[in-house]
Amino acid sequence: MSVSTVATDRPLCDELDVLGRDVQVPLATGGEIGYAALDYAASAPALQRVWDDVAAYAPYYGSVHRGAGYLSQLSTDLFENARTTVAEFLGCRDDDQVIFTRSTTDSLNLLAAALPPATRVFVFETEHHAALLPWEQRDGIDVTYLDAPRTPRQAVDTLEKALAARDPYGPALVCVTGASNVTGEIWPVKELAAAAHAHGARIVLDAAQLVPHQPVHLAELDVDWVAFSGHKLYAPFGSGVLAGRADWLRDADPYLAGGGASRTVTRRPDGGVDVAWHTTAARHEAGSPNVIGAYAIASACRALTDAGFDTVVAREQELVARVRTGLAEIPGVRVLSLFGDDAHRVGVLSFVVDGWNSSHLAAALSAEYGIGVRDGLFCAHPLVRALLGGAPDEPAECGAPAAGGSVLGAVRVSFGVGTPDEHVDRFVRAVRELVAAGAR
């Protein structure tokens, strides 16, 4: 159930065509233009191959783990094979579990719910809110927020000092991003994992912005868990993944109580019920599984593996260089960075322009040029404030400011497989023209 198509106009990888490249959108200045989707970091378009695989399976859709009929058996087999495909894609260890969730946010909240009592959590203020916020929702969990580092080495040193100083010495978890959803900069994951383990802590990798752009091998990075979303990985069908060590997950109460998570349920003489829960991934997958979402993620994993990440990475770096060079030539543009100009990035860049509100600029790019980008603080408010030097109480949200006011924010451009040269060239030209002449 897979199809390979060849696109035109040089997408990032010819074997990985995406839906939507022929969509026409209206311009405020009149006429229509092909839509330039440059907001991959929010939700990437679906791969044509993923769409075709899902369409081919759809007539055979049935209940998972629930029925004896042929379609139920087929769907169950498809669901469990998707789990195996994802495990292979992530380089999981033999005893790791792969749990299908709704998203990265859901995955990290699941892990937060599974933490042993009195776990200490260490997280940099630079994280996306999905990785920054779940931990304090648990009673008895102490969270240490670490200041934004300005070099990869400083990130490792900061973590080591914090872990060494913790008291009492009990279970600890480090949560870190693989690539920033604001700057695109790649974090020193392997070094952070080594620091965590040297101090008796475990580490979870938020790979939402990393896994679509380069290989993520759980065993090689030596992280304990990895979380990501299908909608970042060209599979926008409502599914995500938490993969990694089984013990904390197996010992925790089910994330949701219900069918599928329970192995047996019996009535007690006192009128209550006794439940024996599954110890496998099913323990945290209560309810009817999203087999289409899981299959879509597996399809995307196969597509990227078949195309080869070397090709994907090389082409994407061409586009990163193209955008950075173009923006550097425009007066008043500042690209945001934690680690400096030499930092390695995935296809995500954020910037500000002197004299422009980010929402106004994003709106002009859409209305006058048919370009879709993101503006605001990107669900990473502390990081953007740190990068822009904003005060903790300075107004900051998506949307244009009220008359006479100002709003802290930036513009983000992001891309991936399927992005043609013309889209990034149009973007750079549009920013140059808007800065020079203003919005029409």
* pLDDT tens profile 415-433: 999 999 999 999 999 999 9
- Lookup: tokens for 415: 């891309």
| CA pair distance 41, 413, nearest whole angstrom | 8
Give the pLDDT confidence score for residue 130 in this predicted structure.
97
Determine the pLDDT at residue 1.
36
Compute the average pLDDT of residues 102-117: 97
> Is 162 within 8 Å of 149 (Cβ atoms)?
no
34-48, 164-178, 424-438: the lowest-pLDDT one: 164-178
3-class SS at 307?
helix
Per residue in 243-257, pLDDT (tens digit) is 999 999 999 999 999
Please report the pLDDT score of residue 405 as a whole number: 52
Q: What is the pLDDT of residue 8?
A: 35
Closest to 199 in 3D by CA, of 234, 157, 233:
157
pLDDT for 406: 59
Of 81 and 15, the structure prediction assigns the larger pLDDT to 81
- For the CA atoms of 350, 320, 424, 240, the dihedral, rounded to the nearest 10 degrees, stands at -70
pTM of the full predicted structure? 0.93
d(CA 252, CA 264): 17
Tens-digit pLDDT profile for residues 203-256: 999 999 999 999 999 999 999 999 999 999 999 999 999 999 999 999 999 999
DSSP string for 358-396: HHHHHHHHHHHH-EE-EEE-TT-HHHHHHHHT--TTS--
* Whole-number Å distance between alpha carbons of 264 and 67: 17
pLDDT at 4: 30
| Beta pairing, strands 97-101 & 240-244 | antiparallel
The whole-number average pLDDT for the span 62-72 is 92
Would you say residue 403 has pLDDT above 60?
no
Give Dmax over CA atoms of the chain in angstroms. Answer: 80
Per the model's pLDDT, the better-predicted residue between 408 and 146 turns out to be: 146
Per residue in 356-380, pLDDT (tens digit) is 999 999 999 999 999 999 999 999 9
Q: What is the mean pLDDT of residues 41-46?
A: 97
Give every CB contact of residue 417 below 8 A, 6+ residues apart in sequence: 11, 12, 13, 16, 18, 47, 212, 234, 304, 307, 312, 316
- Taking 80 as the threshold, does the pLDDT of residue 398 lie above it? no
Catalytic residues: 379
Q: How far is CA 103 from the centre of its chain?
A: 8
pLDDT confidence band for 85 (50 / 70 / 90): very high
